[in-house]
Amino acid sequence: MLTAHLPSGYCLGKINGWRGPVFAAAIVGAVLPDIDLLFFYFVDDRAIHHHRYWVHVPFFWAVLASVTLPVLWTSRYRLLAIAFFIVILMHLALDSIGGGIMWLAPFNTELVKLVTVQPTQSLWIFSFLLHWTFLFEVLIWIFAGYLYLKDRRHGTVR
Ligand SMILES: [Zn+2]
């Protein structure tokens, strides 16, 4: 997914009525795994697909959630932690449409994806932008815009 992680977190936060720090956790968590792009471009010189870094590996998040959630379960941070891990899971699911995620790691390091986007253009990004799966991203943006305007109309934009 190229562009719609941020609005996907916004949509999920709005749909669930999350507010304040929980809503912020949804927004941050929705984009957080892509922080590895900094390492990908500025340190690793694009040596491997950035979905192979640990922040895009479901097993890493499963371990972190299995430690964090029980600790926070009885605290006031429970909903924040739940929201955070849900949007992380959503990020990985959305990246599975055309990008691929190592859902079976550490047992299998294959990038699992629903659709293979063929390199039809000379620049890889145009192959993704012109592929039918990009319509899904457009729909997420439209839905986020709808939710924003709906809130604005009702004076509930935060
Ligand atoms: Zn990602």
Rounded-to-integer distance, Cα 75 and Cα 71, Å: 8
- The tokens for 130 are 């012109």
Q: Report the separation in Å between the CA atom of 113 and the middle of ligand 1, taken as the mean of its atom positions.
A: 13
Q: Report the separation in Å between the CA atom of 139 and the middle of ligand 1, taken as the mean of its atom positions.
A: 18
The pLDDT assigned to 157 comes to: 66
- The tokens for 65 are 């959630």
Q: Report the separation in Å between the CA atom of 56 and the middle of ligand 1, taken as the mean of its atom positions.
A: 6
The pLDDT assigned to 158 comes to: 58
Q: Report the separation in Å between the CA atom of 101 and the middle of ligand 1, taken as the mean of its atom positions.
A: 9
3-state secondary structure 66-107: HHHHHHHCCCCCHHHHHHHHHHHHHHHHHHCCCCCECCCCCC
The per-residue pLDDT for range 107-127, each reduced to its tens digit, is 999 999 999 999 999 998 999
Please tell me the chain's helix, strand, coil percentages from 3-state DSSP, rounded to the nearest 5.
65, 0, 35
Tens-digit pLDDT string for the chain (158 aa) = 899 999 999 999 999 999 999 999 999 999 999 999 999 999 999 999 999 999 999 999 999 999 999 999 999 999 999 999 999 999 999 999 999 999 999 999 999 999 999 999 999 899 999 999 999 999 999 999 999 999 999 876 65
- Indicate the domain borders of the chain: 5-153
Q: Report the separation in Å between the CA atom of 95 and the middle of ligand 1, taken as the mean of its atom positions.
A: 6
Please state whether the predicted TM-score (pTM) of the whole model is above 0.85: yes
Residues surrounding ion ligand 1 at CB below 5 Å = 33-34, 95
